[in-house]
């Protein structure tokens, strides 16, 4: 887990609630009754945005499905706005970390909308593995059992 600038002074679960309530500053780019979007204070690239629900949910399991859909709908609109803005990006990544192992630092669900340009140095790092069809089928069956 990376160091969070809020960790020493503010509960990371409440910083986004403080932003929504106007108790903490933010540079807003979008607001409606359900979600807000603002500039990330630690951007990976210029124009990096966060989209959050007004009502906090610590994890995706706590987030109502319709709110998850709303986060991505707003993210899609913001991606188009980024391309048309002075950011003038070539592409956009969405990123949502759910849980400490996934890199979540602030425990209020948030969707990163990250503008991308060639050579910006941002990317997923890892080592994809070739999988056997039998293993894929086995895991697919296990996951299907949990889908409701």
How many angstroms separate the first and last alpha carbons of the chain? 31
Task: Find the catalytic residue in 48, 108, 110, 112.
Answer: 110
E-strand spans in the chain?
28-31, 35-39, 49-53, 91-95, 111-116
112 catalytic residue (yes or no)? no
- Give me the active site residues, please: 110
């Amino acid at each position: 887990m990376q160091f969070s600038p809020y960790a020493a002074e503010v509960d990371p679960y409440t910083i986004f609630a403080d932003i929504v309530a106007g108790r903490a500053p933010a540079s807003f780019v979008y607001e409606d009754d359900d979600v807000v979007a603002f500039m990330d204070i630690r951007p990976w690239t210029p124009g990096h945005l966060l989209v959050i629900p007004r009502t906090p949910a610590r994890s995706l399991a706590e987030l109502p499905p319709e709110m998850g859909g709303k986060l991505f709908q707003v993210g899609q609109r913001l991606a188009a706005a980024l391309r048309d803005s002075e950011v003038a990006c070539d592409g956009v990544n969405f990123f949502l970390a759910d849980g400490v192992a996934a890199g979540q630092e602030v425990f209020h669900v948030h969707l990163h909308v990250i503008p991308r340009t060639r050579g910006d140095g941002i990317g997923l790092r890892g080592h994809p593995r070739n999988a056997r069809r039998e293993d894929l089928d086995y895991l697919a069956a296990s996951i299907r059992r949990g889908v409701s």
